[in-house]
């Protein structure tokens, strides 16, 4: 899952070497939180107009996680 998020984010930004993902442990609700870190200049590219790209990233990640019976959340920082 981490590799999928990296692949998606690196395709969107102009500085792919500055993209990183950290993963929190599963919380009490069974949700794993993925934290996406990008360069400040690329933040707009990842979020998109009115958050459409960020919402699409979260949707794709949730769909992929549901195939593995996981619950995830993606935070863009």
Burial label for 30, CB within 10 Å (0-12, 13-18, 19+), is exposed
Whole-model pTM: value is 0.90
User: What CATH number does the domain containing 61 carry?
Assistant: 3.30.300.20
> Per the structure, how many domains does the chain have?
1
Cα Rg for the chain, rounded, in angstroms?
12
Q: How does pLDDT run across 8-64, given as a tens digit for each residue?
A: 999 999 999 999 999 999 999 999 999 999 999 999 999 999 999 999 999 999 999
For 38, the domain range is 2-76
């Amino acid at each position: 899952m981490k590799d999928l998020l990296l692949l998606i984010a690196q395709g969107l930004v102009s500085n792919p070497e500055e993209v990183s993902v950290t993963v929190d442990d599963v919380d009490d609700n069974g949700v794993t939180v993925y934290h996406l870190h990008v360069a400040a200049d690329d933040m707009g590219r990842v979020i998109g107009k009115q958050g459409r790209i960020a919402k699409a990233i979260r949707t794709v990640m949730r769909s992929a996680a549901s195939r593995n019976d996981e619950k995830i959340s993606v935070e863009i920082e």
